[in-house]
Chains A and B, each alone.
Chain A
Amino acid sequence: MSEALIRFSQVSYRYRDGGREILRDADFTLGHGEMAFLTGPSGAGKSTVLKLIALLERPVSGEITVDGQTLSALRPRAVPAYRRQFGMIFQNFALLPDRSVFDNVAMPLIIRGHSGDDIGRRVRAALDAVGLRGRERDWPVTLSGGEQQRVGIARAVVARPRLLIADEPTGNLDPAMAAEIMQLFGRFNEVGVSVLVATHALGLIRRLPHRILSLQDGQLVDDHGDAGSVS
C-alpha cells in the first residue's frame, strides 16, 4: 500500500523537434486517494506531464509507474487498456458535437462493452453526480461552458476509475463556474478517487485544502505558498 499511485523517477523529457528540456531528472509521487494541483506558468510543461502519464508521450529517460505498472514496459497494443484505467478531462471539453449528452457520457462504457441497461443506470448516476440530471437528451452545443465541462467530467467518472487527470479544466470557464468545477473534483476525491489537475489558476486553488505541485525549471516541487507568485 506504500507504493504510490503515480511515481516519476528521474524523468527527463524534451520534444523531439528540439527546444529546451521540459523535465530534467524530475521526481514526484501522487499517493492513492490523493488530490493535487499541478501549477506553473504557461508553457512550463504541465500538459506535457499529463501526456507522459497518459502515454501520449514517452520520457527520454527515467521511469514512470502508475499503479505499479512501469509505463516503458507497456507495448503499444496495451495502451488502450491502460488508458481505460483513468478518466481524462480536457480544457476544450473534447465532447462529440453530433452526439447527445447521454451518448457522450456513455462512450467509455460502450468501448468497454457494457449492456444497455447498465449503461443507462451508470450514465444517469454520473450526470446526477455532476448536477446534470435530466439533461441526457440535450446536445453539447446547447449547454454552457460549465455544463459542457460537467459532461466531460461525467464521461471521465462514468466507468468509476480510481484516478482522474484534468488539463486546465477551468481554462475556458468564468471564475464562478471554475470554482464549482474544482469543488466537484474535491467531492470525487472525498469518495476515494485520486485526482491530478493541471492549472495555472493559482488564485482559484490557493484557498482549497489540496496539495499544490509547482513545475519550475524542469522540476516538480511542492509549493507551500511561500513562493506566492501568480503567473
Chain B
Amino acid sequence: MSGAKRVRAAPAAGSRWLLDHTRAISATLDQLARRPFGTLLTALVIGITLALPAGLYAVLGGLDAASSGLKGSLRVSLFLKDTVDEAAGRQLHATIARKPGIGEAKYISRDAALAEFKAHSGFGEALDMLSDNPLPATIVATPDAALPKAQAEALLDALTRLPEVDSARLDREWLERLYAILAVIERLILLIAGALALAVLVVVANTIRLDIASRREEILVLKLIGASDAFIRRPFLYTGLWYGLSGALLACLMVFGAGLALAGPAQTLSGLYGIGTGAGTLGVDTVFAVFGAGAALGWLAALWTVSRHLGAIEPR
C-alpha cells in the first residue's frame, strides 16, 4: 500500500522539487502580501538595522576615495650632496620630473634656500655672518595623485637612495595617521555590523516564532495527513528569506536616499579640500553584501527557529 505504488501520477524528482519550491514561494509571498502592514514593519526594522552598517561603510568608502585625493601630501625632500653643483642639480631635477609616476618636482637651489630661510626664520642678520651657505640644494618630489599608495611610497623610497642624495625626508606621517584612523573605523564598523546582524537574527527569529505559533493548527493537520518535515519547514524558511531580502532592499533605499541628501554638502566639502568626490555613494559590492547578508540572516534565523519550535508541535 505504499504511496508510490498507489498514486501513479507521482511526478519525477526534479520537477517535483521545482513544483514544491514554486508552491512554497508563491504561498509565502501571498501570505506576506495579505498582511502588508506587519510585513512592512518587520522589513523596516531589518532595513534600518542593515542600513546602519551599510551607510557607515559607504561613508568609509567615500573617505577612502577622498584620501586618495590627499596623496599629494605624500612627498619627499631630497637634500643633495655639496659635491653636486647647480647644473648637475638642475639636471637631476629634470630627470626626476620626467620619471613616470612623479606628479611634480621642484628644485630649490642653495641660494634660494638661504633666501627663503632668511625671510622666514628671523635669523637673517646672524646668517650674514657665516662665510659659507650651510643649506643644501633640495629637490621636492610629489607622486602622481593617481598612483596607488604603496607604489608611490616605493617610488619615493627609490629616490632617496640616488647617489646624488645626501639625506632625505619623507612627509607622510599624517597620511599614515589618516590610514590608521580609517582602519580603526573599518574595524569598528565590522563590530557594529556583527552586533546588528545578531539583532536581525533575533527580529526574524521572533517573527517566525509568532508565525509558527499562529499556524499551530495547520501544522498539526499537515503532520496528521503525512506532510514531511521538509514540507512543513519550507514555507517558514522562505518567509525568513523574504524578510531578509525586503529588509535589504529597504536598507539600500535608505542608504541611497541618505547619499542623495548628503551629496550637496559632501560636494562642498570635497571642493574646499580639493580632494576626491564620491563620499556616501553606495557601491555595487556594498549592495551585494547587504542583500547577501539580509538573505543569509533571514534564512538562518528561520532555520534556527523552525528547528527549535516545529518539533514541539506533534499531534496527540
Contacts and interface: CB of A to CB of B under 8 A. Distances in A.
Interface of A: 51, 54, 56-57, 67, 77, 80-86, 88, 94, 96, 107-108, 110-115, 118, 155, 159-163
A80 B2 contact: no
B226 A84 contact: yes
Contacts of B229: 77, 80
The 4 closest A-B pairs by CB, nearest first: A83-B226, A84-B226, A67-B1, A111-B227
A59 B78 CA distance: 94
A110 B316 CA distance: 23
Interface in B281-316: 315-316
B227 A85 contact: no
Identify whether the interface residues of B are mostly helix, strand, loop, or mixed: helix
Interface string B99-114: 0000000000000000
B179 interface: no
Given A56-B316, A80-B227, A80-B228, A111 B222 contact: yes
Contact of B6 (A51, A77, A107, A162): A162
B187 interface: no
Nearest to A119: B9
A118 B10 CA distance: 10
Nearest to B225: A108
A81 B3 CA distance: 8
B215 to A, nearest CB: 9
Contacts of B3: 81, 84-85, 112, 159
A80 B230 CA distance: 11
Given A80-B227, A81-B226, A84-B226, A114 B1 contact: no
Contacts, number: 77
Contacts of A110: 23
A80 B226 contact: yes
A117 B163 CA distance: 87
Contact of B226 (A108, A113, A118): A108
Contacts of B9: 114-115, 118
Interface string B50-68: 0000000000000000000
Contacts of A111: 222, 225-228, 231
Kindly name the residue among A67, A81, A111, A159 whose own CB sees the greatest number of chain B CB atoms within 10 A.
Answer: A111
B98 interface: no
Given A56-B315, A107-B222, 19 more contacts: A51-B316, A54-B224, A57-B316, A80-B229, A82-B226, A83-B223, A84-B3, A85-B2, A85-B3, A86-B1, A96-B218, A96-B221, A111-B228, A111-B231, A112-B7, A113-B10, A113-B20, A114-B9, A115-B9
Contacts of B149: none
Contacts of B220: 94
Nearest to A83: B226
Contact of A115 (B19, B217, B226): B19
26 contacts: A56-B316, A80-B223, A81-B2, A84-B225, A84-B226, A85-B6, A86-B1, A107-B221, A107-B222, A108-B225, A110-B23, A111-B222, A111-B225, A111-B231, A113-B10, A113-B19, A113-B20, A114-B9, A114-B10, A115-B9, A115-B11, A115-B19, A155-B225, A159-B7, A161-B1, A163-B1
B169 interface: no
A108 B316 CA distance: 20
A184 B3 CA distance: 23
Nearest to B231: A111
B1 A162 contact: yes
B41 to A, nearest CB: 21
Given A67-B1, A113-B16, A161-B6, A83 B225 contact: yes
A145 to B, nearest CB: 18
A77 B230 CA distance: 11
Nearest to A86: B1
